[in-house]
């Protein structure tokens, strides 16, 4: 058996039981470990799906250029799809994202444009605006816009959700994931709730993001928006991929709690994962400690790999400079 191209190896990531960080928790907590994807993140499935849907819709033509605003992982998935299908790639990132993520994208042949993080989304210098402008200026280019492109949620509804349902033999009772574009949590939640409406869905958010307050009050509150350090989750916009109806509850996790939990996942579970994995695990375990029963099975998704954060949360000097060690 062999794959004809690396993108055929995307998906079917393992569920691994958490054994140490779950001390004091009743029930079973399984991690869906997404770094087993060839792009080392949860974004591979949706990147391929956005490209293939755009081809079908005639939005992406031979020789075209894919231009996307990304925190890095979607860029990696798009780059792999572009290599398979013969497209060029330009990625627009904010300067908050780790240097490793920029280097990885360049390593797979992408052009990378870095923009300031501390400007409003509608500022012409923001990475959202620059991606849009480059799309207008570049002939035969396609801007997937992962925030509002519903192919994102569809990929997780069609693949990640069924993988989790089959992997737990339908025994899953609780599902938890961090929320960035919302594609992962909402695609999987919709699928799981269709199989069993009583599956509880938990979204992990950051301090400095609008999601939790919006879910609880219906208010988009600009006072909720302030700088934070965790990469890949939390937003200052409401992406179309976030369907609040299928997310039962949000919990916010601090940068520090997330960083420390990520380091525990590496040392105590052997899961060398990324920073938002610590956010997801910390929030999920906090909920589980209070609510999980012996017979319950929670799945928490760990989005990416630790190599992308070697210069930050896995670096003791950097951690000390934050006052976190
Ligand atoms: N963690 C990381 C590291 C990510 O790159 C992303 C994608 N932005 C997420 C979590 C959140 O996934 P989603 O966009 O599907 O909500």
Residue 6: pLDDT above 90? yes
Q: Do 165 and 136 share a structural domain? A: no
Q: Do 239 and 258 share a structural domain? A: yes
Average confidence (pLDDT) over 142-169 = 98
Q: Where are the beta strands (DSSP E) in the chain?
A: 15-17, 28-33, 65-69, 88-94, 111-115, 141-142, 174-178, 200-206, 249-253, 297-302
With respect to residue 152, please indicate whether it lies within any of the assigned structural domains.
Answer: no
Q: Do 210 and 130 share a structural domain? A: no
Q: Do 48 and 14 share a structural domain? A: no
With respect to residue 217, please indicate whether it lies within any of the assigned structural domains.
Answer: yes
Average confidence (pLDDT) over 56-82 = 95
pLDDT of 299: 99
Q: Do 262 and 175 share a structural domain? A: yes
pLDDT top residue among 218 and 69 = 218
Of 109, 142, 175, the domain-final residue: 142
**Is 99 a residue of the active site?**
no
CA of 179 to the centre of ligand 1 (A): 6
pLDDT band at 117 (very low <50, low <70, confident <90, very high): confident
Residue 295: pLDDT above 90? yes
Report helix, strand or coil for 232. Answer: coil
Q: Do 136 and 22 share a structural domain? A: no
CA of 190 to the centre of ligand 1 (A): 17
pLDDT of 118: 87
The reply to whether ligand 1 has any atom less than 6 angstroms from the CB of 303 is yes
Q: What pTM, to 2 d.p., does this model score?
A: 0.96
Query: What's the rounded Cα separation, in Å, for the pair 118 and 41?
Result: 26
- Give the position, in ligand 1's atom list, of the atom nearest the Cα of 183: 15
Q: Do 128 and 170 share a structural domain? A: no
pLDDT band at 82 (very low <50, low <70, confident <90, very high): very high
CA of 1 to the centre of ligand 1 (A): 31
Q: How many domains does the chain have?
A: 2
Q: Do 244 and 181 share a structural domain? A: yes
Average confidence (pLDDT) over 3-10 = 96
Average confidence (pLDDT) over 19-47 = 98
Which residue's alpha carbon is nearest to atom 5 within ligand 1? 232
pLDDT of 266: 98
Q: Do 316 and 213 share a structural domain? A: yes
pLDDT of 192: 99
- DSSP per residue, 98-144: -HHHHHHHHHTT-EEEEE-SSS-TTSTTSHHHHHHHHHHHSTTEE--
Average confidence (pLDDT) over 126-150 = 95
With respect to residue 286, please indicate whether it lies within any of the assigned structural domains.
Answer: yes
Residue 80, domain extent: 43-142
Give, for ligand 1, the residue of 148, 178, 300 to mutate: max count of ligand atoms closer than 8 Å to Cβ.
178
Average confidence (pLDDT) over 293-312 = 97
Query: What's the rounded Cα separation, in Å, for the pair 37 and 8?
Result: 10
Which residue's alpha carbon is nearest to atom 10 within ligand 1? 232
- Give the position, in ligand 1's atom list, of the atom nearest the Cα of 303: 1
ipTM, two decimals, is 0.99
Task: Please identify which of the residues 43, 190, 212, 312 carries the catalytic annotation.
Answer: 43
Give, for ligand 1, the residue of 180, 183, 242 to mutate: max count of ligand atoms closer than 8 Å to Cβ.
180
The reply to whether ligand 1 has any atom less than 6 angstroms from the CB of 187 is no
The CATH number of residue 57's host domain is: 3.40.50.1100
Of 142, 172, 200, the domain-final residue: 142
Residue 206: pLDDT above 90? yes
What average pLDDT does the structure give for the chain?
Answer: 97
Residue 188: pLDDT above 90? yes
With respect to residue 148, please indicate whether it lies within any of the assigned structural domains.
Answer: no
Query: What's the rounded Cα separation, in Å, for the pair 98 and 112?
Result: 13
pLDDT top residue among 278 and 97 = 278
What's 231's DSSP letter?
A: S
pLDDT band at 25 (very low <50, low <70, confident <90, very high): very high
**pLDDT per residue over 240-278, tens digit each?**
999 999 999 999 999 999 999 999 999 999 999 999 999
Q: Do 65 and 189 share a structural domain? A: no
Q: Do 308 and 173 share a structural domain? A: yes
With respect to residue 49, please indicate whether it lies within any of the assigned structural domains.
Answer: yes
Task: Assess contact for 206 and 228: CB atoms under 8 A.
Answer: yes
Is the C-alpha dihedral spanning 55, 140, 79, 92 positive or negative?
negative
Query: What's the rounded Cα separation, in Å, for the pair 239 and 149?
Result: 9
pLDDT of 268: 98
- Give the position, in ligand 1's atom list, of the atom nearest the Cα of 231: 3
Q: Do 201 and 94 share a structural domain? A: no
pLDDT of 99: 87
């Amino acid at each position: 058996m062999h794959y004809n191209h690396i993108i055929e190896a995307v998906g079917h990531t393992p569920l691994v039981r958490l054994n140490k960080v779950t001390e004091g928790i009743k029930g079973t907590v399984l991690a869906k470990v997404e770094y087993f994807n060839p792009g080392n993140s949860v974004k591979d499935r949706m990147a391929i799906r956005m490209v293939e849907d755009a081809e079908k819709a005639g939005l992406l033509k031979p020789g075209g250029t894919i231009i996307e605003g990304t925190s890095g992982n979607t860029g990696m998935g798009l780059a792999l799809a572009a290599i398979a299908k013969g497209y060029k790639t330009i990625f627009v990132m904010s300067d908050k994202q780790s240097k490793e993520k920029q280097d990885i994208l360049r390593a797979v042949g992408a052009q990378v444009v870095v923009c300031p993080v501390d400007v409003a989304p509608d500022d012409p210098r923001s990475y959202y605006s620059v991606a849009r402008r480059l799309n207008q200026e570049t002939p035969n280019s396609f801007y997937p816009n992962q925030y509002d492109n519903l192919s994102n949620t569809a990929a997780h509804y069609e693949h990640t959700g069924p993988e989790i349902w089959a992997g737990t033999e339908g025994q899953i009772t609780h599902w938890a994931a961090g929320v960035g574009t919302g594609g992962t949590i909402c695609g999987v939640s919709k699928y799981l709730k269709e199989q069993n409406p009583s599956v509880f869905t938990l979204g992990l958010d950051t301090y400095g993001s609008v999601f939790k307050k919006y879910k609880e009050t219906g208010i988009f509150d600009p006072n909720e928006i302030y700088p934070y350090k965790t990469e890949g989750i939390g937003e200052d916009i409401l992406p179309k991929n976030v369907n609040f109806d299928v997310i039962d509850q949000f919990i916010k996790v601090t940068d520090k709690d997330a960083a420390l939990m990520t380091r525990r996942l590496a040392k105590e579970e052997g899961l060398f994962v990324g920073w938002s994995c610590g956010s997801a695990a910390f929030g999920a375990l906090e909920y589980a400690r209070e609510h999980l029963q012996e017979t319950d099975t929670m799945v928490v998704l760990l989005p990416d790999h630790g190599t992308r954060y070697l210069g930050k949360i896995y670096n003791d000097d950097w951690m000390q400079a934050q006052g976190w060690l």
